[in-house]
Homo-oligomer: A and B are copies of this chain.
Amino acid sequence: MKVGIIGANGYSGAELIRILKQHPEVELSFLGSHSTSGTLITEQYPHLEGISECRLEEMNVDDILGRADLFFFATPSGVAKNHVHRFVDEEIPCIDLSGDHRLKDSRLYDKWYKYSSAPTSVLQKSTYGLPELFREDIKNATLIANPGCYPTATLIGLAPLLKNNLVHLNSIIIDGKSGVTGAGRKASMGTHYCEVNENVKAYKLGNHQHIPEMEQVIQTYTHSDATITFTPHLVPMSRGIMCTIYCDLAQSLSTKDALELYHEFYRKEYFVRIRQENQWPATKEVYSSNYCDLGIAVDERTNRITIVSVIDNVMKGASGQAVQNMNIINGWNEQTGLKITPVYP
């Protein structure tokens, strides 16, 4: 099958190339990039020398519709919304790694993204591509809204509790810590080495666009409204996200009970791994892989549960999950091309 990447010059694009070059079912037939069109991908990413000789091309929808059987949009938020409808009209499967098709209520785009949404009809057709929670929906989807990095770590961390009504929904507090790849490859003061190195910084308190995304999924999943607190932080590393999630328990539960519940819930999930009691996952333990690792603790003093959830934001938080979705859509083994051992240390 031929696949194309639109926005191939960013970090998610490069990661898609890394995965797809080892994927037995697909062939890369199109790499699109507005800013670097005409150059070889190896001019942008010398590490791909000998691996991909593709040339980046200008993205003109009319020209590219026939170039692939499935497209990944690895563009910054605000781009895909203008183009995806054309692919949808032609029933060409698209997986949008940006935020443009995740929210169902178009007014939320005005509020949280500060721009107008994709056409409402397209929003309605999109399927939220978190396989561990919505696999059945994904199987029949044409347009996948690939989840945000923080929501992926958070929702996998929360799902067993949500499904069993074990926590007070309005008590959920998520403290996120992200590596710098989350900010994309574009040069800015905020990603300058000397501003990030030996530094931890909080940002977008109370107004990060992943808040409505998480609230929507919690609503879909529990059929109850939730208003959550989420604080993202930038930490001095390239890859990796940790979400430390705090919830008030709605009923008494021991750590052992909680661990059993999680093990049962994720029994068949290859990409979810659960640490033993008093063991905590570290972001490096999933580095370059598609795993989501979880650690769980109930504090009986406070009747609160804390979940520590880690992913590689470029993989399970973006490109790896996108390929997982592609596998599901096509009826392939979900792990195809994704059985990548974390690189450690």
Contact = CB atoms under 8 A, between A and B. Distances in A.
Contacts of A304: 173, 229
Given A14-B344, A205-B306, A286-B47, A189 B200 contact: no
A113 interface: no
A341 interface: yes
Nearest to A281: B46
A202 B22 contact: no
Copies of this chain, count: 4
Interface string A161-172: 000000000100
A242 interface: yes
A284 B278 CA distance: 31
B194 A238 contact: yes
B297 A227 contact: no
Q: Which of A45, A187, A200 neighbours the largest number of chain B CB atoms within 10 Å of its CB?
A: A200
A279 interface: yes
A193 interface: yes
Contact of A202 (B238, B295, B302): B295
Interface stretch (A84-92, A100-108, A128-136, A177-185): A177-185
A177 B200 contact: yes
A194 B191 contact: yes
Contact of A302 (B170, B289, B293): B170
Nearest to A255: B206
A59 B266 CA distance: 37
Interface residues of A, number: 85
Contacts of A299: 205-206, 229
A317 to B, nearest CB: 14
A239 B287 CA distance: 13
Nearest to A340: B22
Nearest to A291: B50
Contacts of A256: none
Interface of A: 11, 14, 17-18, 21-22, 45-51, 170, 173, 175, 177, 179-181, 185, 187-189, 191-203, 205-206, 227-229, 231, 233, 235-240, 242, 244, 246, 270, 273, 275, 278-289, 291, 293, 295, 297, 299, 301-302, 304, 306, 308, 310, 339, 341-345
Given A192-B192, A197-B198, 16 more contacts: A47-B286, A51-B341, A170-B302, A187-B191, A193-B193, A194-B345, A198-B240, A200-B237, A200-B242, A200-B283, A229-B299, A229-B304, A233-B242, A233-B244, A235-B235, A246-B246
